């Protein structure tokens, strides 16, 4: 890549970082109790800007170096703490953040690429299940210190793209005819999302054990 183009892209990233710093300073000085909606708007803008900057850096890396995209994204998944495991007939995918809102397109792209890479790497190293008919349970884990207004309706979250990514590796089809989907909300030490996929015959027993283990789990 031409050096002038690289410098121009770096300048754009630096400009974005400057604006991000201003957003964060504004968040720090805002009275959250009096203006919770303003804080939500400002924090959303800051988060999206940060994710946009990360995507810009990724694209610059791909275009200006010989680092393979797939190799980098596996490392990105490790840094983000994305984990995949399969035990006792249940596949679990852990994401160290809540699913993005539907209107936050950039946020979804930021999350999906490392997820695809992590799933692909796991599939190379471990046997993966292949479900024809299954149950998917998405547990939305909220930091217990967050106020109630931070808890989002399930309809406002981007779930389909995440499930589509997982379905490529372990499902025959994620249509409603073959796949039952459930959502639950839990309180924990930090925000996150855990996705469990299992045969339908296992779900009742899994849910019973989960309810005993977690007092904060919501009713289905």
* pLDDT digit string (tens) for the chain, length 220 residues: 788 899 999 999 999 999 999 999 999 999 988 988 898 889 888 888 888 898 899 999 999 999 999 899 999 899 888 999 999 999 999 987 766 665 555 555 677 889 999 999 999 999 899 998 999 998 888 876 766 656 665 565 567 788 888 999 998 876 776 888 888 888 877 888 899 999 999 999 988 887 777 654 554 4
Q: Which two tokens stand for residue 61?
A: 């890396």
Domain count, the chain: 2
Q: The pTM is what?
A: 0.73
Q: Are 154 and 102 in contact (CB under 8 A)?
A: no
Residues 74 and 53 both lie in one domain = no
What number of other Cβ atoms are within 10 A of residue 130's Cβ? 10
Angle at 188 between CA 183 and CA 189, to 5 degrees: 145
Residues 100 and 195 both lie in one domain = yes
Could you say which of 31, 46, 67 is where a domain stops?
A: 67
Residues 133 and 152 both lie in one domain = yes
CATH label of the domain that carries residue 172: 3.30.1330.70
Residues 102 and 207 both lie in one domain = yes
Which whole-number Å values give the CA distances from 63 to 9, 45, 66, 111, in the listed order? Answer: 11, 27, 8, 20
- Exposure pattern of 32-58 as b/e (b: 16+ CB <10 Å)? eeeeeeebeebbbebbbbbbbbeeeeb
Assign residue 191 a region: left if phi > 0, alpha if psi is -120 to 50, beta otherwise? beta
């Amino acid at each position: 890549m031409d050096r002038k183009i690289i410098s121009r892209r770096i300048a754009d990233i630096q400009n974005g970082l400057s604006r991000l710093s201003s957003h964060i300073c504004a968040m720090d000085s805002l009275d959250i109790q009096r203006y919770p909606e303003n804080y939500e708007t400002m924090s959303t803008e800051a988060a999206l800007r940060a994710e946009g900057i990360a995507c810009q850096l990724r694209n610059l890396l791909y275009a200006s170096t010989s680092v393979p995209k797939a190799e980098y994204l596996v490392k990105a998944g490790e840094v983000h703490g994305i984990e995949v495991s399969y035990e006792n007939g249940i596949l679990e995918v852990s994401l160290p953040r809540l699913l993005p809102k539907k209107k936050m397109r950039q946020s979804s792209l930021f999350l999906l690429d490392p997820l695809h890479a992590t799933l692909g790497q796991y599939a190379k190293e471990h046997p993966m299940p292949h479900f024809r008919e299954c149950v998917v349970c998405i547990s939305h884990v909220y930091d217990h210190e967050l106020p109630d207004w931070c808890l989002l309706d399930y309809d406002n979250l981007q779930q389909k793209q995440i499930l589509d990514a997982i379905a490529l590796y372990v499902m025959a089809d994620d249509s409603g005819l073959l796949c039952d989907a459930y959502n639950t909300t839990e309180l924990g030490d930090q925000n996150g999302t855990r996705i469990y996929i299992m045969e339908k015959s296992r779900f009742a027993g899994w849910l019973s054990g989960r309810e005993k283990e977690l007092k904060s789990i919501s009713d289905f």
